[in-house]
Amino acid sequence: MSKNRALIVVDMQNDFMPGGPLGVTGGDEIIGTINQLARQFENVVLTQDWHCPGHMSFASSHPGRDIFETFEAFYGPQVLWPDHCVMGTRGADFHPKLDIPHAGLILRKGYNRDVDSYSAFLEADRKTRTGLDGWLASRGITEIVVCGVATDFCVGWTACDARHFNLSVAMVDEASRGIDLEGSLDRAHRNMDIAGVDIVTISQLIG
């Protein structure tokens, strides 16, 4: 596939797979599809949710707070999650069946203790860049295709933020799975629509 296009595979890590602390239903079912899709791309980026122990997005860091409650962070509302993807742990590793050896970049995000980062482009303060925009621009990449988990959090935010950097963006629904917390999946689809993200099937993409 063309040199100006990249596939971004979001957070296909053990802790997001069924049975994990933040398991996404069907997260493991899309691995084969993603492996195959990745073979169509010369440029592939893998993202990795990568939190320090005691990260602010963990309910366990806020005594008296429960998981899935919303916490008022300095940058706005933040969902409190079960501990997940702690840097250097097995839970933060990619699923062992993910097989994309030609991926050129592994982008870690969420390692700053006081700021979460669903998006692979901008942290939750909506100011701090991860550097992914520069990596893509310096390679002349103008179109991205996004898939992975979770559709309604890291995939959706990454897709919408990419539009802010003037990239053309497609999201592959059949290669993504969502958490669906209080309507978040519908909301994510709506937000992607408004942002100008194309929601595509693999056959539309590959032709």
Residues forming contacts to ligand VGL in the complex (CB under 6 A) are: 11, 16, 49, 81, 118, 149-150, 153-154
Of residues 84 and 189, the one with the C-beta less far from Zn ion: 84
| CA pseudo-torsion sign 161, 164, 167, 169 | positive
Determine if the peptide bond prior to 170 is cis (ω within 30°).
no
Cα–Cα dist 127/2, whole Å: 31
Q: How far is the CB of 168 from ligand VGL (least distance, A)?
A: 22
Of residues 41 and 118, the one with the C-beta less far from ligand VGL: 118
Q: Report what 154 binds from Zn ion, ligand VGL, none; CB cut-off 5-8 Å by kind.
A: ligand VGL
Q: Report what 169 binds from Zn ion, ligand VGL, none; CB cut-off 5-8 Å by kind.
A: none
Report whether 148 contacts 10 (CB < 8 A). yes
Cα–Cα dist 196/182, whole Å: 24
Alpha helices in 55-131 (DSSP H): none
Of residues 61 and 142, the one with the C-beta less far from ligand VGL: 61
Residue whose structure tokens are 């099937």: 201
Q: Report what 149 binds from ligand VGL, Zn ion, none; CB cut-off 5-8 Å by kind.
A: ligand VGL
Q: How far is the CB of 207 from ligand VGL (least distance, A)?
A: 29
Query: Mind telling me the catalytic residues?
Result: 11, 109, 154
Other Cβ atoms less than 10 A from the Cβ of 23: the count is: 18
Contact set for Zn ion, span 30-59 (CB under 5 A): 49
Q: Report what 153 binds from Zn ion, ligand VGL, none; CB cut-off 5-8 Å by kind.
A: ligand VGL
Q: How far is the CB of 117 from Zn ion (least distance, A)?
A: 8
Helices (H) and strands (E) counted in the chain, each on its own, are 5, 8
Of residues 41 and 123, the one with the C-beta less far from Zn ion: 123
Binding residue count for Zn ion, defined by CB under 5 A = 1
Q: How far is the CB of 20 from Zn ion (least distance, A)?
A: 12
Alpha helices in 83-206 (DSSP H): 132-138, 156-164, 184-195, 202-206
Q: Which two tokens stand for residue 77?
A: 């509302």
Which helix (H) or strand (E) covers residue 9, if one does?
strand 5-10
Question: Where do contacts with Zn ion occur on this chain (CB under 5 A)?
Answer: 49
